[in-house]
Chains A and B, each alone.
Chain A
Amino acid sequence: MSAEQAAFDETIHAPVRLRISGMLRGVEKIDFAVLRDTIGISDATLSKHLKVLGDAGYITTSKVRSATRNDARRLTWISQTATGRAAFDAHVAELRRITGDLGGALDQ
């Protein structure tokens, strides 16, 4: 964990958006369907939260043709921006500050 400033972020704090941000933090990008299935929410709910994160500049999405599907559907990749990473790190640092755990519960 970097030594970022601890700061509570209202946009990220919503449970689903925090989970989305947390999963995006460990990867370069993630497919919409994988994110939906891992969190266990509907397409519409995920889309709604992604829009909020996107509007805040915390994520970007890109659509690419699927290599494994013959139809016209496209894969939607979601990536966390540098701003999103910084906001998430600051939010987690604030949570750790609250818990008094400065060692990093997420570091494994």
Chain B
Amino acid sequence: MESNTSARETLAALDADRAALAERTRMPAWYHALVGVTAAALVLLGVAPDTWTSNLMPVVLLAWIGLMLYPPRRSGIGTSSWSLPVLLLALGFLIALILVIVLVNVIAVETSLWWLIVPALLAFGAGWLLSVTSERTVRREVTRER
């Protein structure tokens, strides 16, 4: 049987292990930036006047989905509930992105293309935020006792 001190140390060690495991799921900054860049690229390509550039959109969309589904440092750890909130968040993000593209296409038809930098920057920020939120959801899941 355990003494009080020994039991406390054991519980603290379990906490430390979970923290170490959660740390393994921390994404590098370049990953968040890449998710943001692909989101911004989707907006820019969605309103691009040239056909060949807008043809790139499915490729970038696939790249974005790939980044979300296969993050670089999450391999080897499978969590059960991170998929639902993150997938819902990602779905909401995609719908918002499509709405932005449609809106920009409607509004910016007659205006300068330089104006597009605003929604592109917003998409970059939202993509970055989505990536960070997704990472935090996973880390919370790993450290949380169910």
Contact A26 B141 (CB under 8 A): yes
Minimal Cβ-Cβ distance residue in A for B3: A98
- Describe B's contact surface by its main secondary structure: helix
Contact A92 B14 (CB under 8 A): yes
Contact B17 A28 (CB under 8 A): no
A96 contacts the other chain (CB 8 A): yes
Contacting A106 at CB < 8 Å: which of B2, B77, B145?
A: B145
Minimal Cβ-Cβ distance residue in A for B143: A108
| Bound-state Cα–Cα, A100 to B2, Å | 13
Interchain pairs with CB closer than 8 A, number: 96
Contact B24 A38 (CB under 8 A): yes
Chain A residues closer than 8 Å to B80, beta-carbon distance? 27-28
Binds A, one of B4-12, B32-40, B107-115, B126-134: B4-12
Q: Known contacts being A34-B24, A77-B78, is A26 close to B11, with CB within 8 Å? A: no
* Given A95-B11, A108-B15, 11 new contacts (CB under 8 A): A19-B17, A26-B142, A27-B77, A27-B141, A28-B80, A34-B76, A95-B2, A99-B4, A101-B8, A104-B145, A108-B145
B75 contacts the other chain (CB 8 A): yes
Q: Known contacts being A100-B4, A107-B144, is A22 close to B14, with CB within 8 Å? A: yes
> From residue B18, how far is it (CB to closest CB) to chain A in Å?
6
Chain A residues closer than 8 Å to B145, beta-carbon distance? 1, 25-26, 92, 104, 106-108
A-B contact pairs, 29 of them (CB 8 A): A8-B1, A15-B13, A18-B10, A19-B13, A19-B14, A22-B18, A23-B21, A26-B79, A26-B141, A26-B146, A27-B79, A27-B141, A27-B142, A28-B79, A30-B77, A31-B77, A92-B14, A95-B2, A95-B10, A96-B7, A96-B11, A98-B3, A98-B7, A99-B4, A104-B145, A107-B144, A107-B145, A108-B15, A108-B143
